Amino acid sequence: MNKTFYIQDYCEIRDGEIRLNGENIFSAGEDTFSGFAKKAYQDLDLAYPKFFKMDKLSKLAFLAASRLLTPESNTALVFANRSSSLDTDLAYQQTIRDKAAWYPSPAVFVYTLPNICLGEISIKYKLYSENSFFVFENFPAAFFPAYAGLLISTGKAEEVLCGWVEMLGEEYRAFVYKVGNKGFAEHNEQNLNRMI
């Protein structure tokens, strides 16, 4: 695993702000995540009504990926976070809490898997590629270079969209970036620790 790959573009979302390659492209001011996501969707002209059906984790991942992907490219998706789909799991748990009157919501249940956000991105950009969702206690700065490098060097993908997408209550954070043969910074642990 000596071959070096590079970070091409990156997008960060936190505290009501979206930054692309370090530059602000949208900020919403004080708001809940859902309010922020709706304003961002409108401001970024995403024109994709399915967005409103997504859970918060999928909205976060979708917004962060929206400026980074080329449709129908051979781009694998490797995402991770700390809380898996726990934010939506708790929402679903509410719909079955009352043992005498429980009404499980299919539209919520379907999002109780963290990889659904990758499915949403794959559908939008028609990516017939590999998706995998990992869960770690902290941002895995050694994992992403090792695993994304493997996918490219073994020919499973030409480029990889890596993402840390954490969502629990009103605590959210996305750091999503694309890795390929060219870019502005080596895809290694040191650079990621500097950027995150």
Partner 1 sequence: MDQLKLEIKEKIIAALNLEDVTAADIKDDDALFGDGLGLDSIDALELIVMLDKDYGIKLSDPKEGRNIFRSVETMAAYIAEHRTK
Partner 2 sequence: MSFIVDYNCFTPLGTDLSTTVGRLEAGISGIRLFEDSGQLLPSYYAAQIRGEVCTHSGYSRLENMLIRVLEPVIARNPVQERSLLLVSTTKGNIRSIAAGEPVNDAFLPVMAENVARHFGFRETPWVLSNACVSGILAVAVAKRLTDAGIFDHVYVAAGDEVTDFVLSGFAGFQALSSGPCKPYDKNRDGVTLGEAAAAALVSKAPGLFRVAGDGAINDANHISGPSRTGEGLYRSIRQALTEAGLNGPELDFISAHGTATEYNDEMEAIALDRLGLNQVPVNSLKGYFGHTLGASGLLEAVISFESARKGLLYPSLGLETLGVSKEIRVIREPENRPVRYFMKTASGFGGCNTAVIFEKLN
Q: Which one of 20-28, 38-46, 128-136, 174-182 is the stretch in contact with partner 2 (CB under 8 A)?
A: 128-136
Give, as ranges, the residues between 149 and 168 that touch partner 2 (CB under 8 A). 150-151, 153-154, 156, 168
Q: How far apart are CA 114 and CA 22, in angstroms?
A: 27
Q: How many CB atoms lie within 10 A of CB 141?
A: 17
Q: Where are the alpha helices (DSSP H) in the chain?
A: 33-43, 56-65, 86-95, 106-109, 116-125, 143-153, 189-195
Q: Which residues make beta-bridge pairs with 180?
A: 6
Q: Which does 52 bind (CB under 5 to 8 A by kind): partner 2, partner 1, none?
A: partner 1
Considering the rule CB under 8 A, would residue 133 count as an interface residue with partner 2?
yes
Largest Cα separation within the chain, whole Å, is 59
Instruction: Give the residue, chosen from 22, 29, 106, 155, that forms a contact with partner 1 under the rule CB under 8 A.
Output: 106
The first and second tokens of residue 62, run together, are 């979708």
Q: Which one of 15-23, 26-34, 40-48, 79-87 is the stretch in contact with partner 2 (CB under 8 A)?
A: 79-87
Instruction: Give the residue, chosen from 109, 139, 158, 183, that forms a contact with partner 2 under the rule CB under 8 A.
Output: 109
**In sequence order, what are the residues at sequence separation of 6 or more whose Cβ sits closer than 8 angstroms to the Cβ of residue 42?**
none
Can you give the binding site for partner 2, defined by CB under 8 A? 1, 82-84, 86, 89-90, 92-94, 96-97, 99, 102-106, 109-110, 112-116, 118-120, 122-123, 125-137, 143, 146-147, 150-151, 153-154, 156, 168-169
